[in-house]
């Protein structure tokens, strides 16, 4: 041992050790950067390490798959189940989102008409087969508080009136029908009164007609027609539609106007039913409204 400590090999080793410590101290002073030699080695060996690492990783994956097949199968099943639950949650979320949108619309209408009682949003179940006046059925009925002759609206405007109510569904007659008459007035002038009533011809175009207008009316294209609320069938100031064109009745005694409904009657998704409002008349005969 004493011989080794006195030997040159030991001194060389000490020198090499000191060199390494020196390198280490130098490396500390570089503040995180590699030494040039190390950097060169890293760069030179990079492609080899890349290939080698790739092969090794692939090999490890294969062996891992074989050795942990059961565990992966279990995990896969759990993930599938989790995906199913998440999809269900996503569907619920979409439904909720849709419901929130509907309720948001309801809030807007409610703010505009604070004295009215609305139903929950009612989905349109389907249009009456081959009805030229586009009557339809909704998914709310008497258990939701709906009665015959309740006004049916959308946030855009008046749609029609309930005519037949069962426990869970109601049939709606639209403003395109000649069987529904609504007292109406021009929103801008507030003097041009008339009756909105569908006809066979206008129903074909998805419009309705404002009749019994005074011959010296001041209506012009684009004017908004609203409910006058005189009869107690519809609340006051609900949008019905806009004037498309004006003219005279066949008898020449009164004027009329073609009205384009604010709500697209032929493509309805959901509607609201007004269950109660100030000045409501509980009379079936009110279906034939007068100004």
Partner 1 sequence: MRLKTPREKRILYTKTTVRWILYYLLIIVFFTIMTSGTYTKPMLLVPAAICIAIGNDVMAAAVTGAVCGFLTDMACGRLFGYNAVLLTVFCVAASLIFELYLRNKFANYLWITAIASFLQCWLDYKFYYQIWDYENVSRIFYHVSMKVWVYTVIASVVVYALYRLINRFLMPKEHLTIEEVIKTA
Sole window of 22-30, 195-203, 269-277, 280-288 interacting with partner 1 (rule: CB under 8 A): 195-203
Q: Which residues of 17-40 are buried (b: 16+ CB within 10 A; e: fewer)?
A: eeeeeeeeeeeeeeeeeeeeeeee
Site membership for partner 1, residue 178 (CB under 8 A): yes
Collapse the DSSP code of 35 into the 3-class scheme (helix H, G, I; strand E, B; otherwise coil) and give the result: coil
Alpha carbon 73 to its chain centroid, in Å, reads 38
Site membership for partner 1, residue 199 (CB under 8 A): yes
Sole window of 46-54, 197-205, 231-239, 282-290 interacting with partner 1 (rule: CB under 8 A): 197-205
Radius of gyration of the chain (CA): 40
Cα–Cα nearest to 209, from 235, 234, 240, 188? 240
Fill in the DSSP letter of residue 288: B
Sole window of 68-76, 109-117, 123-131, 280-288 interacting with partner 1 (rule: CB under 8 A): 123-131
125 within 8 A of 169, measured Cβ to Cβ: yes
**Entry field: residues in the chain:** 291
Site membership for partner 1, residue 34 (CB under 8 A): no
Site membership for partner 1, residue 137 (CB under 8 A): yes
* Least CB distance to partner 1 at residue 226 (A): 25
Site membership for partner 1, residue 179 (CB under 8 A): yes
Among 15, 22, 54, 126, binds partner 1 (CB under 8 A): 126
**Nearer to partner 1 among residue 178 and residue 232 (C-beta):** 178
Cα–Cα nearest to 289, from 192, 177, 205, 122? 177
**Nearer to partner 1 among residue 145 and residue 178 (C-beta):** 178
108 within 8 A of 239, measured Cβ to Cβ: no
Among 127, 139, 145, 230, binds partner 1 (CB under 8 A): 127
Site membership for partner 1, residue 144 (CB under 8 A): no
Number of residues that bind partner 1 (CB under 8 A): 21
Query: With left for phi above 0 and alpha for psi between -120 and 50, is residue 185 left, alpha or beta?
Result: beta
Site membership for partner 1, residue 142 (CB under 8 A): no
List of residues contacting partner 1 (CB under 8 A)? 125-132, 134-135, 137, 164, 171, 178-179, 199-201, 204, 266-267
């Amino acid at each position: 041992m004493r011989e080794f400590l006195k030997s040159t090999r030991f001194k060389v080793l000490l020198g090499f050790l000191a060199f390494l410590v020196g390198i280490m101290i130098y490396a500390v002073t570089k503040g995180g950067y590699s030494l040039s030699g190390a950097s060169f080695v890293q760069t030179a060996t990079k492609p080899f390490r890349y290939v080698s690492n790739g092969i090794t990783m692939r090999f490890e994956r294969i062996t891992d798959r074989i050795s942990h097949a059961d565990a992966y199968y279990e995990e896969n099943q759990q993930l599938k189940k989790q995906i199913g639950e998440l999809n269900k949650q996503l569907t619920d979320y979409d439904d909720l989102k849709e419901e929130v949108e509907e309720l948001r619309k309801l809030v807007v209408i409610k703010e505009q008409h604070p004295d009215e009682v609305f139903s929950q949003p009612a989905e349109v179940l389907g249009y009456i087969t081959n009805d030229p006046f586009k009557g339809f059925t909704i998914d709310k009925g008497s258990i939701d508080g709906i009665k015959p002759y309740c006004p049916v609206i959308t946030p855009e405007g008046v749609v029609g009136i309930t005519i037949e109510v069962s426990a869970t569904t109601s049939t709606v007659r639209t403003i395109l029908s000649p069987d529904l008459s609504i007292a109406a007035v021009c929103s801008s002038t507030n003097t041009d009164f008339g009756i909105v009533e569908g006809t066979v011809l206008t129903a074909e175009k998805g419009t309705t007609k404002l009749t019994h207008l005074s011959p010296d009316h001041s209506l012009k294209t684009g004017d908004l027609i609203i409910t006058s609320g005189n009869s107690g069938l519809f609340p006051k100031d609900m949008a019905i539609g806009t004037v498309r064109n004006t003219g005279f009745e066949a008898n020449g005694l009164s004027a009329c106007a073609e009205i384009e409904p604010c709500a697209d009657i032929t493509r309805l998704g959901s509607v609201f039913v007004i269950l109660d409002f100030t000045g409501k008349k509980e009379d079936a005969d009110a279906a034939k409204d007068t100004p």
